[in-house]
């Protein structure tokens, strides 16, 4: 398994906590969101850094309850066609102002690299290492976009008129 940074910023390693498992003091841990909501953020106060493992079916409202205590979020795609993962990242960035790392986990495709980046993901966990090259190529594919991204970055429509934001 390879961790690929989409943004160029080094991403931190962390452990995803299994059911019932307790973190060792100081560990960076990703806790499944259901458990985090059930046990409360304070139950994991000894963790070095606290993150959430968020399946794509998680509602935005649930995520909002805990987002302030998180330093990173792993969005778990059930399938590459599950577009809710992109929306979760956009919500985290745009609506909730989340600044920590967002990682894509699960069966995302190399061809989705720019969608991930432009929705707010920082990194992607790649299970099949032979695909890292394809991810890198895809990440460089387009250089201008019709839409502003999650940060409201300049779109083609703005570039055409020399307008920057």
Partner 1 sequence: MYAYDKFDRSLVDIRVAEFRDQVERRVKGDLTEEEFRPIRLMNGLYLQLHAYMLRVAVPYGTMSGDQMRRLAHIARKYDKGYGHFTTRQNIQFNWPKLSETPDILAELADVEMHAIQTSGNCIRNVTSDQFAGATADEIADPRPYAELLRQWSSFHPEFSFLPRKFKFAITGADQDRAAVKWHDIGLIVRKNDAGEIGFEVIVGGGMGRTPVIGKTIREFLPEKDFLSYQEAILRVYNEQGRRDNKYKARIKILVEAMGAEEFARQVEVEWEKIKDSHIDVPQEEVARIQAFFQPPELANQDATSAVTSEFAKKNFIFASWLQNNTNAHKVQGYVNITISLKPHGGIPGDASAEQMDLVAALSDEYSQSEIRVSHEQNLILPHVALKDLPAIWADLDEAGLGTANVGLLTDMIVCPGLDYCALANARSIPIAQAITKRFDDMKRLQDIGPIKVKMSGCINACGHHHAGHIGILGVDRKGQEMYQLLLGGSGAEDATKAAILGPGFDEHGIVDALEKVVAVYLGVREDGEEFLSTYRRIGAQVFKEAVYDAA
CB nearer partner 1, residue 21 or residue 142: 142
Q: How many chain residues interact with partner 1 (CB under 8 A)? A: 44
Sequence-distant (≥ 6) Cβ neighbours of residue 16 within 8 angstroms: 29, 30, 32, 53, 74
CB nearer partner 1, residue 49 or residue 115: 115
The yes or no reply on residue 59 touching partner 1 (CB under 8 A) is: yes
Residues 119-158 binding partner 1 (CB under 8 A) are 119, 130-131, 134, 137-138, 141-150, 152, 155-158
In the list 90, 100, 125, 132, the residue contacting partner 1 (rule: CB under 8 A) is 90
Longest dimension (CA), the chain: 56
Pairwise CA distance, residues 149 & 123, whole Å: 17
Write down the least CB distance from residue 70 to partner 1, Å: 20
Scanning 21-29, 37-45, 64-72, 111-119 for contacts with partner 1 by CB under 8 A, the matching segment is 111-119
Residue 39: how many CB atoms within 10 A of its CB?
11
Pairwise CA distance, residues 48 & 44, whole Å: 9
Sequence-distant (≥ 6) Cβ neighbours of residue 145 within 8 angstroms: 118, 155, 156
Residue 25: how many CB atoms within 10 A of its CB?
9
The yes or no reply on residue 93 touching partner 1 (CB under 8 A) is: no
CB nearer partner 1, residue 119 or residue 123: 119
- H runs (alpha helix) in the chain: 33-39, 60-66, 84-90, 113-119, 132-139, 156-159
CB nearer partner 1, residue 15 or residue 134: 134
The yes or no reply on residue 159 touching partner 1 (CB under 8 A) is: yes
Using CB under 8 A as the criterion, which residues of the chain lie in contact with partner 1 when the complex forms? 59-60, 80-84, 86-87, 90, 94-95, 109, 111, 114-116, 118-119, 130-131, 134, 137-138, 141-150, 152, 155-161, 163, 165
């Amino acid at each position: 398994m390879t961790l690929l940074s989409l943004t160029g910023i080094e991403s931190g390693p962390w452990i995803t906590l299994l059911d019932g498992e307790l973190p060792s003091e100081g560990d960076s841990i990703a806790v499944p969101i259901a458990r985090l909501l059930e046990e409360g953020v304070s139950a994991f106060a000894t963790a070095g850094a606290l993150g959430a493992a968020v399946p794509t079916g998680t509602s935005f409202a649930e995520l909002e309850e805990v987002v302030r205590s998180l330093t990173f979020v792993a969005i778990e795609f059930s399938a590459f066609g599950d577009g809710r993962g992109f929306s979760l990242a956009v919500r985290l960035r745009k609506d909730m102002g989340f600044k920590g790392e967002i990682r894509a986990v699960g069966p995302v495709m190399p061809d989705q690299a720019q969608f991930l980046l432009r929705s707010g993901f920082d990194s992607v966990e790649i299970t099949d290492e032979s695909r890292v090259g394809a991810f890198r190529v895809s990440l460089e594919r387009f250089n201008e976009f019709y839409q502003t991204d999650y940060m409201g970055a300049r779109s083609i429509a703005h570039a055409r008129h020399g307008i920057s934001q």
